[in-house]
Amino acid sequence: MKVLVIGSGGREHSLCWAIAKSPKCDELFCAPGNAGIDRVAISIPIQVDDLDGIMDFVAANAIEFVVVGPEGPLVAGLVDRLDAAGVKAFGPSARAAEYEGSKGLTKDLCAKYLIPTAEYARFDEPDAAKEYIRVKGAPIVVKADGLAAGKGVILCRNENEAYAAIDHIMTESAFGDAGAEVVIEEMMVGEEASFFALVDGKTALPLVAAQDHKAVLDGDEGPNTGGMGAYSPAAIITEEMSARVMDEIINPTIKGAAADGRPYKGVLYAGLMVTKKGPHLIEYNVRFGDPECQAMMMRLKSDALEMLLACAEGRLDKIKLEWHKEAALTVVIAAEGYPGAYDKGSEIKGLDAAGKLKDVVVFHAGTVEDDGRILANGGRVLNVTALGKTVKAAQKRAYEAVDLIDWPEGFCRSDIGWRAV
């Protein structure tokens, strides 16, 4: 089978790495790919938002299956176009992808179908949003409604911080059109977890849970990022808790989405807050988490391509997934300055030495190759991922690999997995 993966990050590298091992995969392409993906797939210089270019490549190369990594092309309707062309694709339609494209839409779904979530309100005008904050008080959470690369959520400890967040998002347009509307919600107290389920339109199959670290600094301090590391399994998601999440959140969502004319296929990623009252939905993403996907692909024992195909073809009820018993942990190495301004082009050394460690894979997220040298080309640049008998053992091995990488212009947190350890 000829397969095309869309994307250029660590998530897509881990998907390509897993798919390439499948006996079903004859040829594997990735658009646009990166220097690490080049080792397991053929990178094609087509950007993820160039839907016309992607469709032309699919037709010219007789691609049989497309796996869409990032949310942008999903929201833009790439899967709809592939479906119309008779090409199998993994991912939701544009209408279903709006559950990530609009946080407000997801909150309205929760309210309509009694899915547990934080109390909220939606605003498209700054003064009305500020008045709501005056009434509700703080702490409170302010979110850009649209896609903001994981950075559009601001946790506000007091009212002044909340007013500043409204100005930042709506008046200063920090996230462009994504901030034309905001969602303001109560700040829930509990432990966060990432819960993933494959959905084929009628069947939902839970995957192993993971936990990520959004904040840029040790101790979960500093501004939120796209993710600075993750690990799996997540102790907070026991078998009992997983069953509750499926019964109270995932299954009602699938039924509600179908009833609202947005039937869901693909991976549904629920960001959860596990409170004293049980699991509550923070928000939905319509793709694999990054960097959670990297840890999950390391633990996946089953054929990744067959898993994704079964989801696309509506036969999840016929498969049973197997996972390695070991824990996996991934440490993100980012460019100095991230999530703010950062430089590109610095050379990264020591990758071969790190990758030779047992049960370690260095997934590339923002790299390019130039005359045999690996250069940084993004904010989150590398994902050092390791297996271990426990999260602590995986953590130790991952940081051993981090220490072998020579990149003075990069940094990482030193405490990924601290909750579990």
CB-CB contact of 412 with 333 (8 Å): yes
In single-letter form, the type of residue at position 4 comes to L
Burial status of residue 341 (CB atoms within 10 A of its CB: 0-12, 13-18, 19 or more)? exposed
Residue 139 has pLDDT above 90, yes or no: yes
Q: Which of 66, 69, 40, 42 is nearest to 55 (CA)?
A: 66
- Give me the chain's average pLDDT, please: 96
Quote the pLDDT of residue 375: 98
Residue pLDDT, tens place only, 87-129: 999 999 999 999 999 999 999 999 999 999 999 999 999 999 9
Alpha helices, H only, 246-348? 251-259, 292-299, 304-312
Residue 367's H or E segment, with its range, is: strand 367-370
* pTM for this entry: 0.93
Quote the pLDDT of residue 151: 77
CB-CB contact of 349 with 330 (8 Å): no
Share of the chain above pLDDT 90, in %: 95
Quote the tokens at residue 378: 């993004």
How far is the C-alpha of 66 from the C-alpha of 70, rounded, in Å? 12
Quote the pLDDT of residue 421: 85
Quote the pLDDT of residue 202: 87
pLDDT level of residue 224 (50, 70, 90 thresholds): confident
Residue 387 has pLDDT above 90, yes or no: yes
Per-residue buried b or exposed e for 252-284, using 16+ beta carbons within 10 Å of the residue's own CB: bbbebbeeeebbbbbbbbbbbbbeeeebbbbbb
43 to 8, 60, 194, 319, 414: CA distances (angstroms): 9, 16, 29, 30, 32
- How many helices, marked H, and strands, marked E, lie in the chain? 14, 24
How far is the C-alpha of 253 from the C-alpha of 211, rounded, in Å? 21
Residue 17 has pLDDT above 80, yes or no: yes
How far is the C-alpha of 294 from the C-alpha of 7, rounded, in Å? 14
Domains of the chain: 2-93 (3.40.50.20), 125-180 (3.30.1490.20), 191-318 (3.30.470.20), 327-411 (3.90.600.10)
Residue with tokens 């260095």: 362
Residue 6 has pLDDT above 90, yes or no: yes
Average confidence (pLDDT) over 10-37: 98
How far is the C-alpha of 421 from the C-alpha of 226, rounded, in Å? 22
Dihedral pair phi/psi, residue 215, rounded to 5° = -70, 150
pLDDT level of residue 420 (50, 70, 90 thresholds): confident
Rg (CA), the chain: 20
Count of beta carbons in the 10 Å neighbourhood of residue 243: 11
CB-CB contact of 290 with 228 (8 Å): no
Residue 24 has pLDDT above 80, yes or no: yes
Residue 198 has pLDDT above 80, yes or no: yes
Count of beta carbons in the 10 Å neighbourhood of residue 192: 18
Residue 205's H or E segment, with its range, is: strand 204-206
Residue with tokens 């009305």: 128
Classify 141 as helix, strand or coil. Answer: strand
CA angle 227, 402, 228 (to 5 degrees): 5
3-state secondary structure 80-93: HHHHHCCCEEECCC
Residue with tokens 């990432």: 194
Quote the pLDDT of residue 148: 85
Residue pLDDT, tens place only, 241-281: 999 999 999 999 999 999 999 999 999 999 999 999 999 99
Residue pLDDT, tens place only, 145-193: 998 877 789 999 999 999 999 999 999 999 999 999 999 999 999 998 8
Quote the pLDDT of residue 114: 97
Quote the pLDDT of residue 210: 92
Q: Which of 146, 151, 203 is nearest to 179 (CA)?
A: 146
Beta strand 27-32 with 2-7 is parallel
Q: Which of 74, 14, 22 is nearest to 49 (CA)?
A: 74
Average confidence (pLDDT) over 389-393: 97
